[in-house]
Structure 1
Amino acid sequence: MSRVAEDVKQDTDRDGPAPLWDLGTIVAGLRESRDVAHNIWQRGPNRRAPSREALAEVLKSLTEALFPRHYGRSDFGTESIDAFVEGKLGAALDGLLEQVYRGQTFVSDGAPTERHFEDAVTLTRDFAARLPEIRGRLVSDLRAAFVGDPAATSFPEILIGYPGMVAIIHHRVAHLLYNLGATMVARLIAELAHSATGIDIHPGARLGASIFIDHGTGVVIGETAIVGDRVRIYQAVTLGARHFPTDHEGKAIKGNARHPIIEDDVIIYAGATILGRIVVGSRSTIGGNVWLTEDVPPNSFVTQASVRSKISPR
């Protein structure tokens, strides 16, 4: 037993349990901060927030429904695979409905109503109807990774093992939910991918078909970024905002287009930082560690040296 533990034991044996913390004063101070001094709670009754843990289960079931032979089981027949997909899809949509409903009511000032639930049902149905389209986009991303990475040996290797693919699966789901109006749930799904892969894609960002994020750690893509088809992005790339316009009170104006537009067939190598509402023209290559804040014509090759002087078409 340590010397501190012996001293505590002696004090406890002699005088009864000795309080180590002044919990009453701390709790009162936190109540004052929570209810008066620094109150950030919406008006109305208490509401339950969406659950990251529940959304992780929703994503797991959705991924198994979209790719049952890869994330589910491998011994399916035609009928059994449909039954498996139906079961996983039903569980995913039931769970998603609850989280969408929580997300809508959590940010509402009024009490939850039947209309909130009806809206959540409609939104979840609209989402479900688009799942075949999402799967088609994901297969195009999978093929792009296989073509673009000489180290890739199979589709299953990419689908299960590549962090870029995991992040894109999450993003395709989150982006659809974001566009349908489930913005809080979409943001939490994006953060699940961020935590798991180190790839941070805002659910509002628009990604075209056949996107390949290679390695991926440290990639950041902002809310209003638009990325075209067949774009390849390497690790530590940022598609960010250069500055934030403010209103007359100095508050950032939300919703303005402030992130780059990357046109089709662009390659962006590791460490490149592309900022502001600029356009990187189609078929261009952006070299590693480039800091770019100006438009790039199509068919350009931009290196650190060229961006210091002028952008040179190739």
Structure 2
Amino acid sequence: MDYKSNGRDALKEEIKDIVDLILSDYDKARDIDQMDVYNQPDRDAVKDIVIKLIRILYPGYYRDKVYKSYNDNNRIAVVLEDVIYNMQKQIAIAFHHSPDYKNASDETLDCAARCITHEFFKQIPKIREYLDTDLQACYDGDPAAYSKGEIILSYPGLTATTINRIAHELYMLKVPLIPRMMTEYAHSKTGIDIHPGATIGKYFMIDHGTGIVIGETSIIGEHVKIYQGVTIGGLSTRGGQALKGVKRHPTIENNVTIYSGASILGGETVIGADTVIGANAFITSSVPSGSRVSMKNPCDCVDKK
């Protein structure tokens, strides 16, 4: 008896049974069962777009290994053309997920994607204007920073802010999926989770950054500094989809500093200008301008014998 042959046949049969089991599970018509992979934006393509956009935003700090040129303008022009083409392609795919383009023809989707892509690239000077102030805020606010180049090349806070400013413009142009894919890439890279819908003013500084969460409807003014572990979030999500479009996250006015571990929650919560929020504070109501909010030292409450 050929035991090896019988064993192989049995293994093949077992594998066939497993394959048939899983394939039959796809026939239940659930959301997770759809097989339309060609109408989903490509995560790797979106990541590549982000990386190349960062090179465009900071042209003197990132050099593409593929495009070789002795003329910087020519080099950037080639990268720009590449990103424009690929962004337009991914946006056209993403529009399959927009109710505004339900049942639209491929020609309509391509035309809309082209218009949105061109409108986005017209915002590049504005994005760079904001990033220049963010860079200045990081340099002015961190005595450990020895140069602005160090900040651009190594600070996760500026990386997350940069990607968010890209994603926010696409979010404002009502591009589905892609803005969130971009900020989740930033989240995985830096540990900083900023929803692309958040509105953030100039001179924004994230120090250290790990564990920061900023929700979709947050409004953050100018000259705001945030440390690691801060949450600017919703007070409750029990309403689920019924809360879509409602302001669920706080407003932070100008010149506010929020130290590590603080949680500021609720759409009606306003942190007034020139306020300092101490570490680990938990805030669910508005704070007047010029305030100093801090947690009491637990030791003060201990009865010492």
TM-score normalised by L of structure 1: 0.85
* Per-residue deviation, 1:24: 3.9
* Per-residue deviation, 1:32: 4.2
**Taking every aligned residue pair, what percent have the same amino acid on both sides?**
38
Partner of 1:288: 279
Letter matched to residue 256 of structure 2: V
* Per-residue deviation, 1:293: 0.4
Backbone CA RMSD of aligned residues: 2.4
- Identify if the C-alpha distance between structure 1 residues 16 and 30 changes in structure 2 by more than 3 Å, giving closer, same or farther: closer
Partner of 1:187: 180
Give a deviation string over 1:261-312, Cα, whole Å, max 9, x none.
0000000000001110100000100000111101000000000139xxxxxx
Give the alignment partner of residue 163 of structure 1, picking from 156, 164, 180: 156
Give the alignment partner of residue 237 of structure 1, picking from 230, 233, 236: 230
* Per-residue deviation, 1:251: 5.3
1:1-314 correspondence runs (5 A) = 12=4, 15-19=7-11, 22-36=14-28, 38-40=30-32, 47-72=38-63, 80-106=71-97, 110=103, 112-244=105-237, 246=239, 252-277=242-267, 278-305=269-296
* Per-residue deviation, 1:12: 2.8
TM-score normalised by L of structure 2: 0.87
Give the Cα–Cα distance (whole angstroms) in 1 for the partners of residues 204 and 13 of structure 2: 54
Partner of 2:303: none
* Per-residue deviation, 1:17: 4.5
CA contact (8 A) 2:254 2:273 kept: yes
Give a deviation string over 1:161-216, Cα, whole Å, max 9, x none.
00001101100000000000113110100111001000000000001001000110
Give the Cα–Cα distance (whole angstroms) in 2 for the partners of residues 39 and 202 of structure 1: 24
Letter matched to residue 62 of structure 1: L
* Per-residue deviation, 1:40: 4.9
SS in 2 for 1:257: coil
* Per-residue deviation, 1:57: 1.3
CA contact (8 A) 1:245 1:252 kept: no
SS in 2 for 1:274: strand
Give the Cα–Cα distance (whole angstroms) in 1 for the partners of residues 266 and 13 of structure 2: 50
Aligned residues: 288
